[in-house]
Amino acid sequence: MRVSVDTDACCAMGRCADTEPRVFDQDEDTGTVVLLQAAPPPDLHDTVRLCAELCPCTAITVTEE
């Protein structure tokens, strides 16, 4: 799995960082998403997919490899 984020599209809701803080964080100043792991391990894939589904701004893209 590969993960990418679009910080321009991100509306800084923080839902991803709340749901999977091992993969997503928020910028301290702007609140926009910070990607911590672009290739998360398999045990995190389900929650990463959930984060992409829940993101209100469709700012998270998941590519299955």
What is the distance between the alpha carbons of residues 43 and 59, in angstroms, rounded to a whole number? Answer: 22
23 binds ligand SF4 (CB under 6 A): no
Site string for ligand SF4, 3-22 (x = CB under 6 A): --x----xxxxxxx------
As a whole number of angstroms, the distance between CA 56 and CA 20 comes to: 15
CA 22, chain centre distance (Å): 10
- Choice from 3, 23, 48, 60 touching ligand SF4 (CB under 6 A): 60
Cβ(12)–Cβ(31) under 8 Å?
yes
Among 44, 50, 57, 62, binds ligand SF4 (CB under 6 A): 57
Q: Report the interface residues with ligand SF4, using CB under 6 A.
A: 5, 10-16, 24, 26, 33, 55-57, 59-60
